[in-house]
Structure 1
Amino acid sequence: MERPMRLGIAGLGTVGASLARLLADKRDVYGMRAGRPLEVAAVSARDRTRDRGVDLSGATWFDDPVALARDGEIDVFVELVGGADGAAFESVKAALNRGLPVVTANKALLAHHGLQLARLAHKRGAPIFFEAAAAGGIPIIKTMREALRGNTVERVYGILNGTCNYMLTRMEREGIAFDACLADAQRLGYAEADPTFDIGGFDAAHKLALLTSLAFGCEIDLDAIFIEGISTVTNADIEAAAELGYRIKLLAVAQRTDSGIEQRVHPTMIPAHSALAQVDGVTNAVAVDTDLLGSVLLVGPGAGGNATASAVLSDVIDAAQGIRMPAFGLEPSKLAPYRRARMRAHEGGYYIRLSVLDRVGAFASIARRMAENDISLESIVQRKPESGRAAETVPVILITHETTEAAVRRALDAVSRDGHLSGEPRMIRIEALD
């Protein structure tokens, strides 16, 4: 019988515990698929006494993940600690320096240090697997890195954060205000006590940074991503979107343009009839636009113990079978330097919500400022005042034809300076998805 592949698992939270249970419950199945038995030989966790629903008495315990990576008698290091720096970063470096394959679900770590770790992995001949780091259980990494190698990718985009998608879905279906919906998401465990990482768009941005590198064969540049969260989306925006034939989703988009690569995460209006608009709740979805296959859409659970453990297991089996592939599809030295697209050069339609002071000349001024910036308006809708708004203001919604973000912002800055608005203008991009 072939010697078991000994796993060292750092982090026994939801995903780590699920992984250990699956390996115990389906030992023979996974051993057959891997071509050799898989054994949890060592673990690291903060609390040794916690019941995780699996017997780990046969594994060597380490209080420090770095010590596990450096000294554990293991063949593969599985990092599920989380966080961009600290123990996660140091333990992965220690494992790679030993020449051990690393499996991680840590998008923050890779978004911040992926290129450095890829270089170290290449130098030591030790692969990094990270299927679980983007879109949970959806096999998007293997799809882009392996199955689509014969294609040229023009755009990758999708719904990459389940918390935001859950909240926007409930706000639309039930008319729940943002704050109440967030409280429910926290109570149900879909949002953290400090939800900024999710609702601020940062989680989606980390995942997008990885997908961008795979899509375009370039170095990771997290700082180049325009990030806007969902905290400013109101029920009025969602209702207006529905009336206009759209749904609002937090969309992550990376695309090739004439001036470079554009990366952005922001609330987006997408056609209600599109496939992506049907993705609700905590579900994630990723679409890849290619030259040969057209558009490929993958939909599935973006988080959760078993869903994420499924992706981790896939990587562990690859490691057991001796699969070796550059982390981002190309050797680190062959990844192109990231070339950022011109700021605010994105072209498309825009939804604009204004709270306009009800006085003579206000509407004429708005129309003039739009015309000065070559912005053609598809529609202008005056709505009933929102609850709690002063009677002297009128909610106005503008839908533009295709234009640039820079032009819209110049026009809105001019309208604000004219003194006809109460509060800040609100703008949401419209994606045609055709």
Structure 2
Amino acid sequence: MIGLRKHLRAAGGEFVDWVSSAPVAQDPAVRAYFSRRINWFFLFVALVMYAISWPTLQLTHPMPAFLLPLVSAFAALPIALAWSAPLAGWAISVVSAQVIGLIVPTSDGWELTIQVTHFIELLVLTFMVILRSPLRWIPVVWLATSLVVAYAVHPAWIIGISVMAVVVPLLRGLMASRRQLAERTKETEAAEAESAVLQERARIARDLHDVVAHRMSMVVVMSQTARYRIPDVSAAAAEEFDAIADAARTSLDEVRQLLGVLRVEGAEPNASPNPRLADIDSLVAETRRAGSDVRLTREVDDEAVGESAALVVYRIVQESLANATRHAPGSSTEVTVVPGPEGIVEVSVVNSAPTAAPLGIGGNGVGIPGMLERAQAVGGSLVASPTVDGGFAVRARIPTTPPREAAVVAQAPVPDRHDSAADDER
């Protein structure tokens, strides 16, 4: 057996005992190799049994010498088919046992109608048929073997054959169920690996939206407001700024098409430890340089907030400022990051009503859902809704240390804001 294991491993296969849940080998060449070894094994057993049956047959069944090799062959050689053709070997053995028992006389004192070797082989072949042949043959095999063994040996053997006919199919069912379980386990592992890939794609999509879209939006805003912020801008320069804005809008559209491929609905975000709350100051300063009126109140110690929670707060402020800049030009925005109840950071980004038409930068609606997902990932909540004065407010409550299980997100309905493009983007 050890040598067989070594040969199988050398052939690139895997040795599994007959009670194993998995096939003997997945590679066809290894399966053929294993089958050849089993067939040679049963052929060797058949020859050994034949060598025993022939010399001892005349002791139990007196007959002419020329019949001894023939009768011994029917008694011993069918076991050679135990692996390759068990049903055929069993049929030869059971029929020959009954015929020998009926027509061949026995010696005085011999209680069996067949040899012991013949009886052993009949039991082995019956076992192999029940183990490897179609289940529909089991009742026929059980009935025929029970009748022959009851006549040739003793009626009590019917009990043993019956137990074999029940236990072996149950063993086959167990083997099949374990094999199916192993296959399902492999399928589950493959599905989990695919799910991890999809979640990573969703994380990339969110980060692309948070970072690239925000920066490109700033390019659009700065290009369109340059003629008003910078004195003595020539017509050619203004036209160049407009071209830059158009190119940036086109880039934004292409980025959103990419996000539509990468984003997976219901994917769990994966917060990174960068940036921190202190980076909100530079974020606000950059937005001011684009011509927006932004006021910041930050009273939370950067070291008192965990890295994942700090990233969520930063992304919420970043996305809210980008939305306010795109959809509410000329508005004033109030950003507040203050400590709330114990272990909570309260974040609010509220802009007033716009004084100019939106910039016309469309979107596919991943802004607010992305903020909701990030807040939910760390056990927080977020509400985004219009204000009574025509502005828009984003308010979130983020735990400084995310719990093990995320809290349920409270999302308010988002009715029409300034126009349909604003709702799509948010």
Q: Same fold (TM over 0.5)?
A: no
TM-score (norm 1): 0.23
TM-score (norm 2): 0.23
Flag the structure with higher helix content: 2
Flag the structure with higher strand content: 1
Larger Rg: 2
